[in-house]
Amino acid sequence: MDLGVHLPQVGPGANRETISTFVRKAEELGFHSLWVSDHIVVPMYPSVPYPGRPDGRFPVSPRRPFLEPLSTLNFVAAITSRIKLGTSVLIIPMRNPVLTAKQLATLDLLSEGRFILGAGTGWLPEEFEALNAPFRNRGPRMDEYLEVIRCCWTQEEPSYRGSFYTVRDVGFAPKPIQKPYPPIWIGGFAEKALQRAGRLADGYHAFGPPEFVAGLFDKVRRYANEVGRDPDSMVFSVRVEIISPKQMSNVFVEAKRYRQIGASHLLLAFNVRSMDVAITHLEQFAEAAATEL
């Protein structure tokens, strides 16, 4: 099982010194990948409960620092050389797809082919509103925007005409280093997200306890089979939020359960309250992964 770790992108660790120290240590210890999350703004009073927690409360205060994901990964690409870089997940329908395609192609080029696009539809109406992007029909728009992005990455003269976006007869260079394009991992719980992952993605990026995730994996595999794809060729990834010391001690017990249900990648996300503690966690994770995973 490959082991990824989330960057200290949010809160007191969201600064140059902390991120530099953290990512260099993660690469030195042999971690597979480094990840960022995506929120441009956090509403003061969100109208929709957060789907990632039973109480529906979003875990990040609107007043906490939250670094922009792609800028952060460009910085990290410049100070690392081997470790892969991913988004968990980039909210595709609240962005211009051609601009996004250019930003991601640039990141893949400057990182020498290390980028993984974790992609999702988003869930916060107020965030879309702040970016002047429509919240309705974001699922169908995500499908189109991903097509636009792939056209830009693969066609010499990208052209696409859809219900929500049209681009034609433009030059787009450079292309990403990875061919035909960087891996796309789809995240989300909705049935449409599972269909999208099974039918077009290189991987599915889940979140939740093993019993819940097992059901999601099964559905993604079924949708892949329906269109003649081999689900065994897909990456099945799980993000694990580590909030308390008790969870820290149990994380590798859970990791074995995730591996048993088919997960091939585990993303560990924990609060970086101090660099000494963060480095200790990285060393513990790396040692346990070498002996237990």
Higher confidence at residue 281 or residue 125? Answer: 125
> What band does 229 get if pLDDT is binned at 50, 70 and 90?
very high
Bridge partners (DSSP) of residue 68 are: none
Higher confidence at residue 251 or residue 8? Answer: 8
Percent with pLDDT over 70 in the chain = 98
Whole-angstrom distance, CA of residue 97 vs CA of residue 142: 9
Whole-angstrom distance, CA of residue 1 vs CA of residue 269: 16
Average pLDDT of 206-231?
A: 97
Average pLDDT of 120-140?
A: 97
> What band does 285 get if pLDDT is binned at 50, 70 and 90?
confident
**Domain tally for the chain?**
1
Residue 266's closest CA among 291, 285, 287? 285
Of 74-83, 100-109, 197-206, 283-292, which range is least confident?
283-292
Average pLDDT of 223-250?
A: 89
For the cut 90, the answer to whether the pLDDT of residue 47 exceeds it is yes
> What band does 271 get if pLDDT is binned at 50, 70 and 90?
confident
Residue 253's closest CA among 242, 270, 206? 242
179-217 pLDDT, tens digit per residue, is: 999 999 999 999 999 999 999 999 999 999 999 999 999
92-128 pLDDT, tens digit per residue, is: 999 999 999 999 999 999 999 999 999 999 999 999 9
Q: Give the helix/strand (H/E) hosting 172.
A: none
Residue 15's closest CA among 72, 92, 58, 60? 72
Cα dihedral across residues 213, 218, 222, 225: positive or negative: positive
Task: Write down the H helix ranges in the chain.
Answer: 16-28, 69-78, 97-110, 125-130, 138-154, 191-200, 210-226, 245-260, 275-292
Within its chain, how far is the Cα of 134 from the centroid? 22
> What band does 274 get if pLDDT is binned at 50, 70 and 90?
confident
For the cut 80, the answer to whether the pLDDT of residue 292 exceeds it is no
* Residues in the chain, overall count: 293
Residue 28 domain boundaries = 2-292
For the cut 70, the answer to whether the pLDDT of residue 245 exceeds it is no
> Under a CB-based contact definition with an 8 Å cutoff, are residues 187 and 193 in contact?
yes
Residue 35 sits in a domain whose CATH number is 3.20.20.30
> Under a CB-based contact definition with an 8 Å cutoff, are residues 121 and 131 in contact?
no
pLDDT of residue 243: 72
For the cut 90, the answer to whether the pLDDT of residue 278 exceeds it is no
Residues 110-129 as b or e (16 or more Cβ within 10 Å = b) = ebeebbbbbbbbbbbbbbbe
pLDDT of residue 289: 80
Residue located via tokens 């869930």 = 123
pLDDT of residue 206: 97
